[in-house]
Structure formats: structure tokens, C-alpha cells
Amino acid sequence: MTSRQRVLQALNHQQPDRVPVDLGGTFVTGLHCSVVAALRDHFKLRPQPVKVHEPYQMLGYVDEDLKQAMGVDVEGVVPNNTIFGFPSEDYKPWRAPWGQELLVPRQFNVRPDADGHLLIFPAGDKSAPPSGMMPKTGFFFDSIIRQPPIDDDHLNVEDNLEEFAPLDEANLKRIVDGVRAAAAGPGERARLICTPGTALGDIALVPAPGLRYPKGIRDIEEWYCSTASRREYVREIFDRQTDIAIANLRAINQACGQLIDIAVLCGTDFGTQASQFCSDQTLRDLWLPYYKRMNDWIHANTAWKTFKHSCGAVSGFIDTFIDAGFDILNPVQCSATGMDPRKLKERWGDRITFWGGGIDTQRVFPFGTPDEVRAQVLERLEIFSPGGGYIFNTIHNIQAKTPVQNIIAMLDAINEFNGALV
């Protein structure tokens, strides 16, 4: 099987020849730039500075030689514009606080504050208030909340839609070029696209770190409260945003739809470590109608499978995700309450594809031994892989300071398991 055939068979809940692997295909299945460098060193690949394609989480671009070394089956196409509102292009050298020589987008502009924390600016504009901060001992950025005063009598939905717009010709061309390059690449991998504008209430986007002077409801706590106290306002945002999203999906499909296999629609988190952010009834009332509109359009007009990301304890929402039309659930946070992998597979394994869950990135991966990593990876593969419906990935991105020997133990365990399947 080619990688693409392998992934598509798994997505259709059929047993492929090997368990497919995604490492680096999306903004939630990626590798911190320091991890990319460590893996390149381990595999003795050509020395080169790592490109940071997603500066919010400081995710590094995975070049073809490293994809081959890790055995990945997915080729991702991510939006050209970063979360900080500038494009991933015209790279320049930059030395990270932890000493790594990197390549960052030209408009990646930072400066330290009085305490030594690193500030980053929306659209690279240093005349605007900073929209993100990397703690001086940190490895990625957090958003800075810039909430203007809220006047409930004059709230304007347009203010919370400013960052969502129909694709212009230049941005559509960048997406189409990326998809075509992925399809023409040497790996014969499944093609995945992170679709623009489809994330409803994604808490990483609510503060609008890419806007110079955001308006509307931009404080995270205020947003969560608004899903209860200003529900009609939020509903109107979602309704308008869905119209824009479907127009963008239509344009992408017309240009290159037959080359796309998977669409990442939404990274909105609905779970905490131990519970849910809202009730299932609220999810069905406020989010499901708009998710369903997007999913229904995709399934009526394309062959794409749709991907829903939500961290945390979301077992109580899986039936709703399925009813909304999602084909894939990520990252499958098995350490959260109610997320036992055997129960997940037994109850929903024939109706939704689990994409992730392969290794606990909070405890075992960063702090365990290689033997502990191997044991957990083999156990998760034995649970999730039978009958297809599973793509291996870690639980969210591989973080900085994850020991490279543990990453190699994970890769070796995948190869060990897949060797036993052949």
C-alpha cells in the first residue's frame, strides 16, 4: 500500500497493512522546533536551521528527509497566515532564547519586556500593542488579552468576525499551491488541509492575536461566560462565520478538491482534565447546527473526511461529534477522566476514527523511560488499531525537552508493531 491508501483504508474502518502515522501534519499533531532539530541530529540528516511555520506553539517544519526517517503517512497543508497575523514566508535567521538557531517568518518581530519575557506583535507591527508573550524560561507564546471595554447595548457581531473573511485570490492560490505540491510530493501520502475560518470559538483564536486592535469579546473568561449570557450574539457570530467558511470550502474544492483527503475543521476544546466546559445540551444547541452545516456541505460535495480536535474529557460529547458529521476525533487524551482507550474503541471505534492517543505527552513521554514509552505505545496500538479507524499520533504536539531517546522508542515501537502485522 502507499501511505495514502493506508490512511484512506483506516479512515474507512478497514484494516490497513500497517497502522498509519501522522507526525507534523497539523497544528495539533506537530513537533516543537527544538524536537525537529534533535531528530535531525539523531538520524544524521543534513544540518540546517529549522523553519518555524507556526510561531504561537513554535512548531517546526518537517522536511522530506525527516518525514521518511520517521515513516509518516500524512502530508499536511496549513494556512499561510500564522495565528499572529503574518504569513509564513520570507524567512530570516533568529536565535531562540534556548540557544537554537532558527528560521522565522520575516514579520516575526519580537522584543523583551522589562522582566525578560519575549513579546510578539500582531502582523509584525511593533507600533501596536503586543499580542503574545513567551516567558523567559518558556518555549512557546501565550496570548495577551487586549479586551476593550464592552458595551452590551452596542455589541457588533462584525467585531468578532474581523479575522474571518472570504479567501482572497492570493491566499487561495497559496492553499492550492500547497495542496498540489503535497499531491506531487515523493511520499504518496494522504493529503490533509487545515481549512481557514472553520473554527468556531477556538479559544486560541478568541483573543485575536493577529489583529492590531481587536474589538468585540476577546477576553477568554468573558467569552466562556458569553456562551451562556450572550448566546444569541455568539450564535449570530457562528452563523455568519459558517457562511464564510462554506464559501471558502467551495472555492478550495473547485480549485483542487479531488487532491484533498482530510479537512481539519476545528480546534475548539470542550474538555478539561477532569470534566467538560459545557453540557452536551449546550454543545448541541450552540455548536452542532453550524458544525453540521459545514460537515454536511463537505460530505455532499467532496470525498473529504473531517477532523475535530478537542482536548480533555470529551467522551460525553463523542455521540454529538458523530451526529455533527465529524469523521475523526483528535487528540484522544486518554489520561483525562472517562477517556479509557479500551472503552473508547469498544463504544465508538466503528463510527469515528481516533487520530492520536498513542502516547501520554504530559507524563510518560517527557518523564518516563524509553521502556515505559515502548510499553505504552504498543498497548495503545493493540487497543486502537484492530479493524482500522485509527491513525497513530501522540496526544497533541511533541513538546520541547521531550527526550529524543523517548521519541525514538516511540518510533521503534510503531515499527515493531507494524512489523508484526505484516
Residues contacting 152, CB < 8 A, separation 6+:
230
Which cell is 400 given? 520541547
- Angle of helix 220-229 versus helix 231-256 axis, rounded to 10: 110
The answer to whether 40 and 48 have CB atoms below 8 angstroms apart is: yes
pLDDT digits (tens, 9 = 90+) for 84-130: 999 999 999 999 999 999 999 999 999 999 999 999 999 999 999 99
**pTM (2 d.p.):** 0.97
Residue ranges of domains in the chain, CATH in brackets: 3-50+61-86+147-421 (3.20.20.210)
Q: In the chain, what percentage of residues exceed pLDDT 70?
A: 100
Name the pLDDT band for 349 (thresholds 50, 70, 90): very high
DSSP for 96-155, please give it: -TTS-EEEE-TT--EEE-TTSPEEE-GGG-TTSPP-EEE-TT-SS-EEPP-PPPP-GGG-
Look-up of cell digits 484494516:
15
Residues contacting 87, CB < 8 A, separation 6+:
80, 81, 105, 107, 174
Name the pLDDT band for 187 (thresholds 50, 70, 90): confident
3-state secondary structure of 62: coil
Q: Edge-to-edge strand order for the sheet containing 92-95?
A: 59-60, 50-54, 101-104, 92-95
The answer for 76, left when phi > 0, alpha when psi is -120 to 50, beta otherwise, is beta
* Three-class secondary structure assignment of 255-323: HHHHHCCEEEEECCCCECCCCECCCHHHHHHHHHHHHHHHHHHHHHHCCCEEEEECCCCCHHHHHHHHH
**Residue 201, CA distances (Å) to 88, 271, 284, 287, 289 in order:** 24, 14, 14, 9, 14
Name the pLDDT band for 421 (thresholds 50, 70, 90): confident
d(CA 30, CA 48): 19
Vertex 398, ends 397 and 400: CA angle to 5°? 120
Which cell is 211 given? 489583529
By C-alpha distance, which of 265, 89, 61 is closest to 171? Answer: 89
By C-alpha distance, which of 296, 304, 294 is closest to 261? Answer: 304
What residues does 104 pair with on adjacent strands?
Answer: 92
The answer to whether 190 and 134 have CB atoms below 8 angstroms apart is: no
pLDDT digits (tens, 9 = 90+) for 260-279: 999 999 999 999 999 999 99
3-state secondary structure of 14: coil
* pLDDT higher than 70, residue 254: yes
* pLDDT higher than 90, residue 71: yes
Q: In the chain, what percentage of residues exceed pLDDT 90?
A: 96
Q: pLDDT value at position 79?
A: 78
d(CA 87, CA 106): 8
Q: pLDDT value at position 12?
A: 98
3-state secondary structure of 28: coil
What residues does 271 pair with on adjacent strands?
Answer: 276
**In the predicted model, what is the mean pLDDT of residues 292-298?**
98
Name the pLDDT band for 422 (thresholds 50, 70, 90): low
Give the mean pLDDT of the chain. Answer: 96
